[in-house]
A and B are shown apart, each in its own frame.
Chain A
């Protein structure tokens, strides 16, 4: 499965949750599949989805699901020790590990070669680290939500992108409707 197929499958789980979504094609795909005010789309700032999501989870009680990418975790690897040492049980970091920089043309990342992000997360002290196959994503995510425990889920999947338009919504509008959804 490629990222967009996974997102389509888990869209019903994501719909009612606060979601922080990675820059580029991941956000475009989620926006096209099921745009919700509870989605925070990153239009730039590669690497910070996991950090934004952690700040959000620590600041309020609703569950927060971060849809991140292997390349973005690699560029902000310092995020994993921070996550491990600031446990927020309403936080789920889901890394779509397609082994590539998908948005920029599927150039391979080290996560698709020798580097295991699940092992890195564990070594950083993260608990409830689960590496799963693309087809199991929905089940694993649902269980993680129900457990009420912080999770790091590494979804191993194929590289590839769906064709969708760029998001033209103004960033302040994205942010404002998201904040209203957080408070609702």
Chain B
């Protein structure tokens, strides 16, 4: 199974047509895949809170959005999650690379990883953790759930899910 293709397929199947991204090495493949899809408008953002603003506007304009980002950025998004996405009750799937988890080669990444789930829990954000490739089978249901309840929903995807780091 090619998980990058599977993720993009699930986004399209759920009518998601506006995707903003800030890169992570783990996300390179899925970002490239999304960039190539004609039915998705890919708009890279310079900071994750900016990206969430773009998503909020796109949703009010009638397009289903998603954000693809790294967990180290979670801190810069809290004000936006609380006062825009949650306060105005908007749906937002957040596909997040979960750096600093098992098979992580860069020690510094662990420093945000140890806070990631606690911070998401503090924000009452429904959170899923993909650790094995087969976990991606749940993505379709998670996307449906997100647009059913109009909430931000986090999908943490660790290095093991993405198949490790090769030679690193």
Binding site for B on A (CB under 8 A): 20, 40, 42-45, 47-60, 76, 78-79, 81-82, 86, 171-172, 174-175, 178-179, 182-183
Binding site for A on B (CB under 8 A): 18, 41, 43-47, 49-63, 65, 79-80, 82-84, 87-90
Given contacts A44-B79, A175-B88, A183-B62, contact A55 B54 (CB under 8 A): yes
Hey, which chain B residues are within 8 Å of A183, CB to CB?
62
- The answer to whether A78 touches B47 (Cβ under 8 A) is yes
**A-side interface mostly:** helix
Given the complex of chains A and B, what is the CA–CA distance between A39 and B57 in angstroms? 13
- The answer to whether B83 touches A179 (Cβ under 8 A) is no
Given contacts A55-B18, A76-B50, A175-B90, contact A45 B83 (CB under 8 A): yes
Chain A CB within 10 A, most for which of B52, B83, B90: B83
Which residue from A48, A59, A174, A178 sits with its C-beta under 8 Å from B53? Answer: A48
**9 A-B pairs with least C-beta separation:** A55-B57, A59-B61, A51-B53, A78-B46, A44-B83, A48-B53, A56-B57, A55-B58, A55-B54
9 more CB-based (< 8 A) A-B contacts, given A44-B84, A55-B65, A76-B47: A20-B57, A42-B84, A44-B82, A47-B53, A55-B55, A76-B53, A82-B46, A178-B60, A183-B62
Which residue from B44, B53, B88 sits with its C-beta under 8 Å from A55? Answer: B53
